[in-house]
Structure 1
Amino acid sequence: MKPWYWLTVIYILSIDIAAAQVRQQANVNFIQLYKENSELSYTAPKGEIGAPDKYIINGKLTSTYMVVASPELPVAFAVHPDFTVRVREEQSSGVRTPSFRLGGILYFRLNRRVEDYQYATLRYQHHSNGQDDAALNPDGSVNTRTGNFSTNALLISYNFGNSIPGLNGRHDLSLNHEAGLEWHKWFNYEKILRGSYGFTRVFYNFSLRGYRPLKEVWRLNAGVNYALNRMDDYAFWALKKRLNAELSFHYSFPFMDNVFLMAAAGYYGEDPYNIYYRDKYAYLRFGISTGILRGPSRNLSAPH
């Protein structure tokens, strides 16, 4: 065969190899990004200050187990456990009804540039409180001591964001957005929730993060969600019942490693802590938080 034929074959193969390397690097970058964008865990003395009940300490422990995370695939899968407990301010210091959430998340990479990323998620989540007594007391009130709570949901979201290099010694920044829909009605749930629970919610989460060369220094997080489904006693515009919102700031001092001091303020129209879902209140929360953090020294490399 003529030399030009072999040159053409070599050229095409080199292009294919280079393209495969770019795809693989993008997949690796996004796998790290998925973990960084997971929710933070926290420990908060006094818990939600402003709640109807008093607490000694509250905690949320969550993680992301990347079960399928291959550089060869533009999709990934993670198991996502989430445990929340509130230790009550009473003689026994009881927890009563812990919140247990467990599910799986499918991630779909939509582009290759991690500095200007886009991806989608599909998530299934089970939520229960480990109790099996009747959810209602004989007088018709909710049994918050031993009452059963369970529900299951699908969540679909679109995630996007971008990085902003720091200038003149300022922090590098990243802007991160998530918008989506939460849907419960296709699955089993505790029957007393019917007509009084947010089975269909739209949500939006925002995170602004600042980095120094060796670590992530701070995060400003904001989140809001709103119940869309019909409720027996609340109109569609009843913000006091349908709206949940929180603003939090997390700061890591130089002597800290992978942990923040946390301050949060928010409002629950529907308390997400299982059988306490009928509680409505504004709150403050202070404590420490942690997650899968990074700094520009470990920045994700971008495909070119």
Structure 2
Amino acid sequence: MKADATRLRAALSAPPPDIRLFLLHGPDEAGARLYGDLLAKTLGTGAERVDISPSQLRSTPALLADEAASMSLFEETRFIRVSGAGEDILEALALLLSAEQAGNPVLVIAPTVKTSAKIVKLAIDSRQALAHACYEPSAGEADRLVTELAQQAGLQPDHGVARRIAEASAGDRAVMAREVEKLALFLDAAPDRPKPLDHAAIDAIGADLTDADAESFATAVTMGHVTDAGDLLVQLAESGQSAIPWLRAIGRKLMMLADLRRESDSGGDVGTAMKRHRVHFTQEAAVRASLLHWPAGRIAAALDAVRSAERAIMAAHTPGDIIAYNAMLDMARRIARR
């Protein structure tokens, strides 16, 4: 069944016994992971999370149904999470939904899967599954989300503060949550001791880096300008802000290059494609030059590296930002050597 955000949050807050599968698809992987965090919070701190990789399900499709039906040795609540899923786990999901029993909920995060995918259709057609498309929030939605997060943390944002946090977070839900948490700690705020949140507090914990900085960084990385990328990365590290918006900027740039590459390889008009992506005429020559260093295979590998770095940042107990810095600089160095 298809679920909107309200229905999904209600189901994750009180999982219905007849729902075996929560399929979260679409490009907002950070938002999908926050929904996963809500399920974990609902099940309690003692809940056991079983992570299964898509490659495991490709080789052993029955594993998912087996894990969903298995009992914990210590009688703890369990749930199964599959991250980075794609169409190749269709058989595993079909076996899960057709199994005689499955007591443990399964959460599948599929950021590259579109609404037309077979696994999405499978979940929508099943009364034992909920499918939800995760997209980055609009500007208005992001403002409301920041305001809600702030209020839950005991913060009372002044006019314009929510918009400033949303813009600095580039619409990324996980980054918004992290920034609000950081501000609550700084102001010693909590639901039982609310504190006003003004622009001075944001200024005190680090200067904003604008979308223009992120776009400049993405351009430097994809063109192999290592020195420029390094200088901007120092600013990011000193600001204390998350690297996720900058990774997203690189991802958008790579998706543009992928479209231009397809146009070029098929004999199409690259100039028309650049206009479609609103490339400024002063940058057209540089973009054409950088395209020479980006064959389709290299673009795909770079997008995988960007997604891996983003997952590392969101994972617990890892030096995520350092991993991301190294990945981004390594990308620029590789292009510079071409």
TM-score by length of 1: 0.23
Larger Rg: 1
Higher strand share: 1
Structure number with higher helix proportion: 2
